[in-house]
Amino acid sequence: MHPHRGQFSRIGSFDEIVNGTNGTQKCCFVKRGLRTRAAMGLRPSMAPTGYLNSKNKDEKCQVVVDPLRAPVIKEMFEKVANENYSGRKIYKWLKEIHFTSKSGKYVTLGNIYRILRMTFYYGVFEYPEGSGEWYTGKHTPIITQELFQAVQAKIQVEKKKAYGREFAFTRMLHCAYCESGITAEEKIKELKDGSSNSHIYYRCTKVKNRDCPNESVKESILIDEMLPIIDMMSLDKTELKQKLEKEVARYALFQTGVLRQDLPQSKKHKDISIKTFAKYMLMHGTLTEQREVLSCIKSRILLRDKKLTVEKTS
């Protein structure tokens, strides 16, 4: 690895992400004097969205507030801090108002979180990134430090929620190829009409085999795969029964919705209801309810190319 290149390509790529540019403007990528510039309050890189690089060549790294985008950036922070907007909701809102970066691109969800974590907006920056050396910028802040901190507290909570979600199905699943654990990630797909949808994908962590060929699988497919397994399993009936009795209202819902269509009449009502209820919770329940069902499955379940099998216990 070329030490200098490594350093600058890192800064460059960060800016590419934040600014949605390919780094064609090289104004700040001269190695000599970068630290000096930082000490002068000039962040040695491209202006983040909400700011514009000064066009004056004598004012390298100087940034001015972008009158078009800065108010939106400020509003982003305010919506998160005061109106409990999630990153996703910000994403939708930005699409609605057709907000684009300087290069004319829509801002991705990743960009949004990067923006929300950028101290530059309230006036300070770290240079180099992660060095612990902080400078007060010469630029005009867009937001206050208080607003920035309020946003950090909110997105920290959001991160925890997303992290918790990951464990709905992961804990019980293992890769059938290499025995590694299974991890989950949310992927957001931008559609042509400007809207977006998201899916959770499960995949092998590849801890035990870096070249593991196991395919990733959508959560909805995983749930479909899980349903016949519920039929095969001996569930911990008492646990689910208690749950069942507690939630009479929900029970009525599944009775009319699921029970009527799916099940052969010949089976005894009592046997059916526990499993049907388990299936219903798996398909339509909250995360906690899905986990509750899954916790009743005592065997390990293996994932192989989008299919699930129950591990045979000897």
Helices (H), the chain: 3-19, 34-39, 70-83, 87-96, 109-116, 145-165, 167-170, 219-232, 237-246, 248-254, 260-262, 269-284, 287-295
Applying CB under 5 A, the span of 38-46, 187-195, 206-214, 268-276 interacting with Zn ion comes to 206-214
Distance separating alpha carbons of residues 4 and 31, to the nearest angstrom: 8
Q: Tell the smallest beta-carbon distance from residue 173 to Zn ion (Å).
A: 11
Q: Are 143 and 122 in contact (CB under 8 A)?
A: yes
Determine which residue in the list 76, 175, 240, 259 makes contact with Zn ion, applying CB under 5 A.
Answer: 175
Rule CB under 5 A: say whether 216 interacts with Zn ion: no
Q: Are 83 and 151 in contact (CB under 8 A)?
A: no
The residue written with tokens 């000897």 in the block is 314
- Considering beta carbons, is residue 180 or 273 the nearer one to Zn ion? 180
Q: Tell the smallest beta-carbon distance from residue 180 to Zn ion (Å).
A: 5
Number of residues that bind Zn ion (CB under 5 A): 7
Determine which residue in the list 101, 111, 180, 290 makes contact with Zn ion, applying CB under 5 A.
Answer: 180
Distance separating alpha carbons of residues 166 and 60, to the nearest angstrom: 45
* Greatest distance between any 2 Cα atoms in the chain: 86
Rule CB under 5 A: say whether 101 interacts with Zn ion: no
Reading the block at residue 245, the tokens are 């009795």
Rule CB under 5 A: say whether 212 interacts with Zn ion: yes
Rule CB under 5 A: say whether 173 interacts with Zn ion: no
- Considering beta carbons, is residue 215 or 262 the nearer one to Zn ion? 215
Rule CB under 5 A: say whether 178 interacts with Zn ion: yes
Residue type, 51: Y
- Give the residues across from 135 on adjacent strands: 125
Rule CB under 5 A: say whether 177 interacts with Zn ion: yes
Distance separating alpha carbons of residues 142 and 120, to the nearest angstrom: 9
- Considering beta carbons, is residue 63 or 303 the nearer one to Zn ion? 303
Rule CB under 5 A: say whether 202 interacts with Zn ion: no
Distance separating alpha carbons of residues 172 and 17, to the nearest angstrom: 35
- Using CA atoms, how far residue 246 sits from 223, 240, 254, in Å, is 24, 10, 14
Q: Tell the smallest beta-carbon distance from residue 219 to Zn ion (Å).
A: 18
Applying CB under 5 A, the span of 36-44, 124-132, 198-206, 224-232 interacting with Zn ion comes to 198-206
Rule CB under 5 A: say whether 122 interacts with Zn ion: no
Rule CB under 5 A: say whether 214 interacts with Zn ion: yes
- Considering beta carbons, is residue 78 or 179 the nearer one to Zn ion? 179
Q: Which residues make up the interface to Zn ion (CB under 5 A)?
A: 175, 177-178, 180, 204, 212, 214
